[in-house]
């Protein structure tokens, strides 16, 4: 089968003076007849340099190496596109400590979405939950606590007791809940993770990676924006006990609005952070630093690096027409093609005008065409780098044409 390749214009919100208009303005200010030959030579070289400046600035320098931080592993990704901005040992399997509670929360959020539980459900606190060691929300045996309060106690206060109470409420027991966590890990593509509990307490087969935790953080941000806002809560009071969020970036950087800290002797100090600046959201995962300050400073440095040297733009919206395809023997001559989901692209800052979008499409496409059917492929490139390869799908059904239309197209195809 042969393919036709067409180039699409990229969107740009930037406006530049043309070189011609710049040259015109320059010549209007200079009278060469009044200048000496030496000065004319100097002016010539200055003019060439000035005219070349826009071209030089357009060829932006590549992003420098990311900052060096004292961590066992880290990764920085764009939350929308998933593009990796920087990493070190991102696939090393390490103890995640209380970052585990991101998966606990994700499983609870899924249960809420599927109406298996409700935020106002009252959970009876078991002795097992009450006795869970480590950080606590300080719930008491036999008391009834709402799912929402338990979620806030887990997210803001990192309560291990709250985590176990939620796990038991949803799955009957913490071991069964851990199986649910692992099922969701597989679904999300977290192929290097395994969970034994809902808290992050050490276990021989309890591990994750920076890359997997970034996948999980993106899922929470993108799938559950209404619940994600709880990760920016700075303090939560249950009963007479008020505790602050351990993520000090919430106070240090106004653009940071999540997510979760973690610490055990085995894991070291860990932090998943998320920040939003000018419509671009970045997720950073830092594992295994030597102190709480080191995880905060390292995360801040990685976030600043990502925002300084990269940018993300929405290229096409879901269900928006990207191009048309000619459909033979169908009811309509053309079908509109688009993407199933919003398409965000991340690239080196200032390089948007260098991005090219092309469509690979079969030269002959026969009807009928069903809505959602892949028909062509969209390629987005920046120089030699492929940013995106995604199928373009039909936005509407295009059923088989009439007998007359099919006969007419059959004859026309002889000449194609």
Tell me the pLDDT tens digit for each residue of 360-398: 999 899 989 999 999 999 999 998 889 999 999 999 999
- In angstroms, the CA 74 to CA 65 distance is 14
- What are the phi and psi torsion angles at 276 (to 5°)? -125, 120
Is 80 exceeded by the pLDDT of residue 91?
yes
Q: Answer yes or no: do 308 and 321 share one domain.
A: no
Is 90 exceeded by the pLDDT of residue 46?
no
Cα–Cα nearest to 210, from 287, 123, 126, 318: 287
Position 119 in a domain? yes
Average pLDDT on 229-241 reads 95
- In angstroms, the CA 389 to CA 64 distance is 26
Beta bridge partners of 386: 381
Is 70 exceeded by the pLDDT of residue 185?
yes
Active site residue 101: yes
Position 402 in a domain? yes
Beta bridge partners of 237: 242
pTM for the model stands at 0.82
Q: How confident is the model at residue 292 (pLDDT cuts 50, 70, 90)?
A: very high
Domain count for the chain, please give it.
Answer: 2
Among 251, 282, 313, identify where a domain stops.
313
Q: What is the dihedral of CA 106, 207, 198, 222, to 10 degrees?
A: -10
Active site residue 49: no
Cα–Cα nearest to 95, from 287, 259, 282, 318: 287
- In angstroms, the CA 150 to CA 133 distance is 16
Position 342 in a domain? yes
- In angstroms, the CA 307 to CA 120 distance is 39
Q: Answer yes or no: do 273 and 400 share one domain.
A: no
Q: Answer yes or no: do 302 and 391 share one domain.
A: no
Position 252 in a domain? yes
Catalytic choice (72, 101, 260, 329): 101
Give residue-wise pLDDT tens across range 396-409. Answer: 999 998 999 888 87
Q: Which domain holds residue 344?
A: 317-413
Position 170 in a domain? yes
Q: Rounded mean pLDDT of the chain?
A: 87
What is the CATH number for 333?
2.60.410.10
- In angstroms, the CA 397 to CA 371 distance is 5
Q: Answer yes or no: do 114 and 185 share one domain.
A: yes
Looking at residue 117, what is its pLDDT? 96
Position 61 in a domain? no
Among 269, 289, 313, identify where a domain stops.
313
Q: Answer yes or no: do 217 and 328 share one domain.
A: no
Is 50 exceeded by the pLDDT of residue 122?
yes
Catalytic choice (73, 98, 163, 274): 98
Looking at residue 9, what is its pLDDT? 54
Is 50 exceeded by the pLDDT of residue 34?
no
Looking at residue 21, what is its pLDDT? 32
Among 290, 313, 336, identify where a domain stops.
313
Q: 252 to each of 158, 217, 243, 255, 272, how far by Cα in Å? A: 20, 21, 18, 9, 15
Q: Answer yes or no: do 216 and 240 share one domain.
A: yes
What is the CATH number for 297?
3.40.710.10
Catalytic choice (81, 87, 158, 274): 158
Active site residue 72: no
Widest pairwise Cα distance in the chain:
97
Position 64 in a domain? no
Looking at residue 413, what is its pLDDT? 85
């Amino acid at each position: 089968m042969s393919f036709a390749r067409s180039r699409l214009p990229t969107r740009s919100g930037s406006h530049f003076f043309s070189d011609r208009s710049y040259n015109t303005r320059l010549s209007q200010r200079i009278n060469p007849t009044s200048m000496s030959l030496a000065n004319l030579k100097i002016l010539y070289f200055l003019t060439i340099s000035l005219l070349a400046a826009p071209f030089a600035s357009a060829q932006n320098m590549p992003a420098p190496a990311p900052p060096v931080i004292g961590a066992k592993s880290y990764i920085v990704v764009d939350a929308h596109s998933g593009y990796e901005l920087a990493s070190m040992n991102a696939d090393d399997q390490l103890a995640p400590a209380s970052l585990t509670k991101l998966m606990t929360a994700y499983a609870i959020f899924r249960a809420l979405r599927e109406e298996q539980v409700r935020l106002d459900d009252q959970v009876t606190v078991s002795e097992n939950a009450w006795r869970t060691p480590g950080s606590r929300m300080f719930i008491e045996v036999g008391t009834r606590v709402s799912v929402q309060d338990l979620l806030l106690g887990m997210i803001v206060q990192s309560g291990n007791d709250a985590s176990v109470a939620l796990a038991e409420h949803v799955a009957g027991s913490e071991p069964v809940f851990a199986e649910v966590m692992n099922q969701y890990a597989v679904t999300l593509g977290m192929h290097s993770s395994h969970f034994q509990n809902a808290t992050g307490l050490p276990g021989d087969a309890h591990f994750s990676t920076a890359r997997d935790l970034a996948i999980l953080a993106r899922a929470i941000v993108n799938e559950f924006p209404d619940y994600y806002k709880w990760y920016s809560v700075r303090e939560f009071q249950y009963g007479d006990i008020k505790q602050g969020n351990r993520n000090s970036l919430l106070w240090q950087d106004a653009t940071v609005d999540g997510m979760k800290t973690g610490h055990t002797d085995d894991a070291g100090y860990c932090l998943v952070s998320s920040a939003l600046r000018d419509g671009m959201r970045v997720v950073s995962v830092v594992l295994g630093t030597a102190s709480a300050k080191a995880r905060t400073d390292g995360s801040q440095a990685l976030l600043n690096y990502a925002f300084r040297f990269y940018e993300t733009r929405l290229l096409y919206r879901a269900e928006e027409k990207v191009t048309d395809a000619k459909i033979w023997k169908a009811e309509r001559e053309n079908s509109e093609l688009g993407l199933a989901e919003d398409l965000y692209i991340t690239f080196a800052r200032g390089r948007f005008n260098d991005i090219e979008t092309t469509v690979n499409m079969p030269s002959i496409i026969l009807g009928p065409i069903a809505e959602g059917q892949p028909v062509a492929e969209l390629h987005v490139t920046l120089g030699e780098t492929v940013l995106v390869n995604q199928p373009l799908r039909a936005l509407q059904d295009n059923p088989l044409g009439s007998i007359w239309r099919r006969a007419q197209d059959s004859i026309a195809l002889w000449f194609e």
